[in-house]
Structure 1
């Protein structure tokens, strides 16, 4: 199973200047619960935006730089298909960004786990449009903003039709 996982704004914004635009602790908690114990695929810039290696996950990094050096335990490849091939066949794989990787991966994904953040900020990285002819919304859970969350948001799960 290949799953895209992201937090996106109403305008499909993902981030700006290689940074997330919001801080939503419940989104981080959900991300950790879903991805722990699995392979996570990401572009080099997304990897470099992480504060540290995410524990209990195998990091697969896509980079066009042939001499890209990463911490021990990471797998570096030069294309999305090579990243998928680097993961065991029976393994659930999560693609965690960035925008260009999501654009390439949406055609091969089986599932999308989104946190829809109800704001439309300025951004330079965007999630691709989800075509309702190809994807079915199977789960939706709304959360109101509070002292820890500056925006309303919903957890959404889509399955490929």
Structure 2
């Protein structure tokens, strides 16, 4: 599948050392620098998220501004067309739609932004993972799936309390950007 699609599929996620990514539909930490990085990387592109992630966004950021928002939900009728550009009942339906309608991918990148179920169900399509690893362990009820066997660490940047890592799928790890 890699190389055949006219866009790159990226994951952006923050997890702790126990793979926790959420607790009670919230991030278990507050890292303003990471939130700025999220906005910088995803602005101008298409973001794909599950219903719970969409509902966890503060009202003033729902839908995420300057991004094409796509939501996966089992109840698509609950979303007004003005709120979300595209709504799908399954991850497979969303990816299939994008293969036939690549114009719905703004800026040539599709960013999968959560939550846990959406990450798990879409990992086979992912080309790059933009991961923030938060020091320590936190109480959590949502976890990021294991991915390391199919990806290679391409870049990293250490900060106090966390580290940014970029992973690329092994089949494309040596390909130029």
TM-score normalized with structure 1 length: 0.89
Conserved? CA contact 1:143–1:154, under 8 Å: yes
> For 1:128, which of 142, 145, 152 is the aligned residue?
145
Aligned residues: 153
Q: Secondary structure at the match of 2:44?
A: coil
Q: Secondary structure at the match of 1:19?
A: coil
1:85 shift after superposition? 3.8
What's 1:115 paired with? Answer: 132
**Residue 154 (structure 2) pairs with residue 138 (structure 1):** yes
Conserved? CA contact 1:58–1:73, under 8 Å: no
> Which runs of structure 2 are paired with 1:57-136 in the superposition (5 Å)?
57-70=67-80, 72-74=82-84, 75-87=86-98, 88-89=101-102, 91-131=108-148, 133-136=149-152
Task: Name which of structure 1's ranges 73-82 and 109-118 shifts more when overlaid on structure 2.
Answer: 73-82
Gaps of 5+ in 1: 145-151
Report the Cα distance in structure 2 between the residues aligned to 1:31 and 1:57, rounded to whole angstroms.
12
What's 2:168 paired with? Answer: 159
1:67 shift after superposition? 2.1
1:105 shift after superposition? 1.2
TM-score normalized with structure 2 length: 0.82
Over aligned residues, Cα RMSD in angstroms? Answer: 1.4
1:54 shift after superposition? 1.5
The 4+ residue runs of structure 1 with deviation greater than 4 A are none
1:71 shift after superposition? 5.9
Gaps of 5+ in 2: 1-7, 171-177
